[in-house]
Amino acid sequence: MSTQYHDDALLEASRVRTAPPPLFKVVLLNDDFTPMDFVVEVLETFFHMERDKAVQVMLQVHEAGRGICGVYPQDIAATKVEQVMQFARTHQHPLQCVMEEN
């Protein structure tokens, strides 16, 4: 905290507290057409997961119908969703990726 002197009076800088930004989960949704290997590739490429972790999340998507890829601030989560969706479209897979408030 800084202090300043102004006309023999002591002024203290007030502290401003900011709330952390809201976080959003990035979630992959299961479908019957996207290959498991492609889902693992997505997790490794866009979410920087190690192979073992990517396989665990892929199996969660396969068995539970959805899997959480990560939790991010809103703008980063939205960017990840768009990147995954574009990558899936480019490779002609119907993989769906969404974001949900945490």
The answer as to CATH 3.30.1390.10 being correct for domain 23-101 is: yes
CB contact at 8 A, 62 and 30 = yes
Query: H helices then E strands: how many in the chain?
Result: 3, 5
Quick: pLDDT tens for 30-40.
999 999 999 99
CA neighbours within 13 Å on the CB side: how many for 45?
A: 13
Q: With cut-offs at 50, 70 and 90, classify the pLDDT of residue 9.
A: low
Instruction: Look at residue 17 in the predicted model and tell me its pLDDT.
Output: 86
Q: Is the pTM of this model over 0.85?
A: no
* Cα–chain center distance at 19: 19
Are 95 and 53 in contact by the 8 Å Cβ rule? The answer is no
Per the structure block, which two tokens stand in for 71?
């939790």
What digits encode the pLDDT tens for the residues 55-102?
999 999 999 999 999 999 999 999 999 999 999 999 999 999 999 999
